[in-house]
Chains A and B, each alone.
Chain A
């Protein structure tokens, strides 16, 4: 049996992976431009566009006023006219202001025009709680999964931040690309080869046999920590990084739960009509009744107070506790 040589990789920060994908795609396609606050000379709110203004200039890296509805509208319109804008929304909470142009004009455009027009716009936004209070902490990607014509992707590693962004910038319709504030300090290995990561592909980041934990974005790290705790109890958790919410990779998820027999879904957002609700429903449609639990934030806005914030969010301890309960024969109610 021949062994494949290890792929050449380079370690970089999450933000560097984003800048790298932007740079490669912008060099390749002159129609790609960036619209957002602090994207130009400032290099991006999280420094994720560092160096792009210097290389591509003010025509292609444009600072916009703080007006999300207008910005997304301009992006959708520009996309319909033939450009490929990336609209950067620093806090996902404020993406709500852009839902009308994104959904009613961007996502519906192909349908409304019988396929004659599409809007290849990428709305990139940063979700997650990190001490900035009720208006700067939300994870609302679940709200967007059900929009026909809209794709939603959620990288949890620098490699996927790079690969998924490349695919997003080549897509034929609107894409929402959601990263997370707490992922920016993360460094990870990214393939040197310029390869895109396809949508609709989840990744098993930790194989296991006793239960399947599906998660996305920053919570993948929490899931992996929980898996380490469970290992001490002799429980082997398989952790799946969803990477793509619309479309979901049901094959990988169903295969996994088919083997383990139990499913725990983990998200930082709300569990009511959350990502987990959809994953569980589809798994049951495929496999029939299975034991499952959904873990997510408490149903409250996230305070800027550190203690209250932590109290509202899932952590490894809470996930492990929910996983242990799954193993018992008692009937479960979904926990936060």
Chain B
């Protein structure tokens, strides 16, 4: 099953800057792994994997901007599920996020 990881609905935020990806496309991730740090106008948001799987495709690179609710990456349960062109249609993977 494929999922999209979207920018979390942080209160009072319209869009974020992607700071640093801590995992690469192709890597296996465990639940709770730190995937990426995002910057809001106020603070840094740490986005963690909500379940284990494989990070397949990064859609918003470091230094780029993304709006709240739009996709950041594609995660799949199995290593070889084909990744669709349009991630927007995928199910959202609930993420754990922490504002630091």
Knowing A185-B12, A185-B13, A187-B15, say if A47 contacts B42 (CB, 8 Å). Answer: yes
User: Interface code A175-186, partner B: CB below 8 Å = 1, 0 otherwise?
Assistant: 000000000111
Q: Kindly identify which residue among B12, B17, B42 contacts A187, using a CB–CB cutoff of 8 Å.
A: B17
Q: How far is the CA of A187 from the CA of B40 in the complex (A)?
A: 10
Instruction: Note all chain A residues with C-beta closer than 8 A to B27.
Output: none
15 other contacts beyond A11-B17, A11-B65, A14-B41, with CB at 8 A cut-off? A15-B41, A46-B41, A47-B41, A47-B42, A184-B41, A184-B42, A185-B14, A185-B40, A185-B41, A186-B14, A186-B41, A187-B14, A187-B15, A187-B17, A187-B65
State the interface size on chain B (CB cutoff 8 A).
Answer: 9
Residue contacts A-B, CB under 8 angstroms, 22 given: A11-B17, A11-B65, A13-B17, A13-B41, A14-B41, A15-B41, A46-B41, A47-B41, A47-B42, A184-B41, A184-B42, A185-B12, A185-B13, A185-B14, A185-B40, A185-B41, A186-B14, A186-B41, A187-B14, A187-B15, A187-B17, A187-B41
Q: How far is the CA of A13 from the CA of B42 in the complex (A)?
A: 10
Chain A contact patch, size range: 10 to 19
User: Interface code B29-64, partner A: CB below 8 Å = 1, 0 otherwise?
Assistant: 000000000001110000000000000000000000
- Smallest CB-CB separation from B42: which chain A residue? A47
Complex A-B, nearest 6 residue pairs according to Cβ-Cβ distance, in ascending order: A13-B41, A185-B41, A185-B14, A184-B41, A187-B15, A11-B65
- Smallest CB-CB separation from A15: which chain B residue? B41
- Smallest CB-CB separation from B16: which chain A residue? A187
- Minimal beta-carbon separation of B66 from chain A (angstroms): 11
- Smallest CB-CB separation from B15: which chain A residue? A187
